[in-house]
Amino acid sequence: MDNRLPMANSLPPRQPVFRGYPPIQRPIIPLGLETLYTICRQIYPDQPNPLQVAALVKYWLGGPDPLDYISMYSNPGNPSADIPPHWHYISFGLSDLHGDGRVHEISGVGTPSGFGFELTFRLKREPEEKVPPTWPAAIMQALAKYVFQSENTLVAGDHVSWHCPLDNSESRIQHMLMCEDPQLRMVQTPFGSVTFIQIVGVCTEELQAAQGWNGPGIIDLMKTVSGLGGPWLVTDMRRGETMFELDPSVQEAVDRGVEADGSNLSGVSARCTWQEKKHPTPVDDSEEADLERGFAQISVQESEQIKATLKKGLIGTKSVLPPIRPGSSSSRYFGMPATGDQNEGTSRKESYDSNMNSEIASPELLQTKFLESVLIQFNLEAGTILPLALRGRLKHGRHFTFKSVVGDVAITLVPLSVSGAFVDLEHPYAAHGPWLQVLLTDEDIDHMLEDLVAMSESDALSFPKTFEWCDKRLVVTLMHEDY
């Protein structure tokens, strides 16, 4: 009898062998985002993982911030070329990062990806700074919200009226111009093309020069002035002098540009109202309320027709950012885009209906009402733009429109050389619902400019300030900023 146990039972138990932790599944980077990351790595090979500001809840999951990420790179600049060391901010989210329709309509090669651009910003790096400030990310998110809400894109030469130091300090840098990023060129992603639009912080005087002439011209001049960030236009929030104070000869160049080219800004959002000037007659409460708003009550359909007409037939084809009020998101306002003329010819002749389709321009739009005289109210900012509009637009045979940020009111100033308007010398004031047109002769324009220049040179200004022009048939009152 064999009493031996089986071989298996005679061996000691085998100890488990540790073979390491299971591999971690890294998230797959969307193709659109990976393409943009690759471009950034080519410029910053030593910063493969830059600091980022990320949306806590992504926009496509119901979050409030449209930009998924904002990367912040340290750029050494080039002191010999007057380019200081700076922080370089780059957004991700205005273009299509995912390509599956979760944020943008699905597109492909040969079309813009999403809105077709991303934002960048270059901020001068202070010697003591170890990490980049995050306030530029808040600015970029605010601009992105505007783009998503209005569907107006930003292009080089556009401007943004901000009316507040960008970093909420005491800085003179309170507005923005847009230019092409000098290092990031257009890139083709699997979901379309993407350009990079750089934000440039500017002073009020520089913004007004861009409004009176054009943004690209001011951008080109700024690149030549020492102390403005060099050819890369690095924003210095501690800059205390305007381009005109740093180089007085720049003002002459701007004046020559305005004289030769006029302004390519054909409209702005503003606080404005109008009403017919006439002898008081008894009205009921509802009619009186309508008069105070400057127009008779119209239907929603008529309101949309007016908006479409303004967009398609009046303001051209290139959308620009309207003035945005500083403060919380709830206090910002977005109205009709301020627009620049695109491919505008040398002829002084312009036409309202050159871009209208037959449906929008149909006679059923609204009945034209001719007025004997009108009362117009502008807030202070619109009042400062009025002489720029007269000098840079109407003196060059081009129209200019103020679109109210509240309701559908629009006021268009028209010179004699514009065709297709519904005003003429016999009827210089006419309205289509809330849309008012005012015809101004060269003599009218000269008188208005004379009075407005005298007002701007006055040491003591008090508001409201009322002007009466055109034999007192055109009455314009400039109100406080937030009347």
Torsion sign, CA atoms 220, 221, 223, 229: negative
Among the candidates 264, 298, 319, a domain finishes at: 264
276 lies in some domain: no
- Give the Cβ contact number of residue 402 at 10 Å: 28
Closest CA to 472 of 383, 373, 404, 398: 373
Same domain, 229 and 369: no
Query: What is the tally of structural domains in the chain?
Result: 2
Closest CA to 348 of 254, 426, 442, 411: 442
236 lies in some domain: yes
Same domain, 55 and 188: yes
Which residue do the tokens 């943009």 mark?
36
Which residue do the tokens 């100033």 mark?
413
237 lies in some domain: yes
Closest CA to 268 of 396, 65, 405: 405
324 lies in some domain: no
- Domain containing 465 equals 364-478
Same domain, 259 and 379: no
* Rounded-to-integer distance, Cα 467 and Cα 448, Å: 9
Closest CA to 70 of 6, 30, 118: 118
Among the candidates 264, 280, 298, a domain finishes at: 264
Strand arrangement of the beta sheet that strand 272-276 belongs to: 272-276, 374-378, 474-478, 465-469
244 lies in some domain: yes
144 lies in some domain: yes
* Rounded-to-integer distance, Cα 154 and Cα 150, Å: 11
- 85's enclosing H/E stretch is none
Helices assigned H by DSSP within 114-158: 135-150
Per-residue pLDDT 10s for the chain (483 aa) are: 555 555 555 666 667 666 666 666 666 899 999 999 999 999 999 999 999 999 999 999 999 999 999 999 999 999 999 999 999 999 999 999 999 999 999 988 889 999 999 999 999 999 999 999 999 999 999 999 999 998 889 999 999 989 899 999 999 999 999 999 999 999 999 999 999 999 999 999 999 999 999 999 999 999 999 999 999 999 999 999 999 999 999 999 999 999 999 998 888 888 999 999 875 555 555 544 444 444 444 455 545 554 454 443 333 333 333 333 333 332 222 223 334 454 443 333 343 432 323 333 344 456 899 999 999 999 988 888 999 999 999 999 999 999 998 888 999 999 999 988 999 999 999 999 999 999 999 999 999 999 998 877 766 678 899 999 999 999 999 998 666
Among the candidates 230, 264, 298, a domain finishes at: 264
Assign 159 to helix, strand or coil.
strand
431 beta partners? 369, 436
Same domain, 249 and 372: no
231 lies in some domain: yes
Same domain, 231 and 369: no
- 357's enclosing H/E stretch is none
245 lies in some domain: yes
CATH number for position 416: 3.30.1360.230
pTM of the model: 0.74
Same domain, 56 and 172: yes
- Helix 249-261 to helix 215-222 angle (10° resolution) is 160
Same domain, 174 and 56: yes
Extended beta strands in 254-340, E state: 265-270, 272-276, 318-319, 339-340
253 vs 11, 226, 445, 449, CA distance in Å?
Answer: 96, 16, 24, 21
Q: What is the rounded end-to-end Cα distance, in angstroms, of the chain?
A: 114
Which region, left, alpha or beta, applies to residue 229 given φ > 0 means left and ψ of -120 to 50 means alpha?
Answer: left
Same domain, 237 and 376: no
Helices assigned H by DSSP within 15-134: 31-43
- Which amino acid appears at position 336 of this protein? M
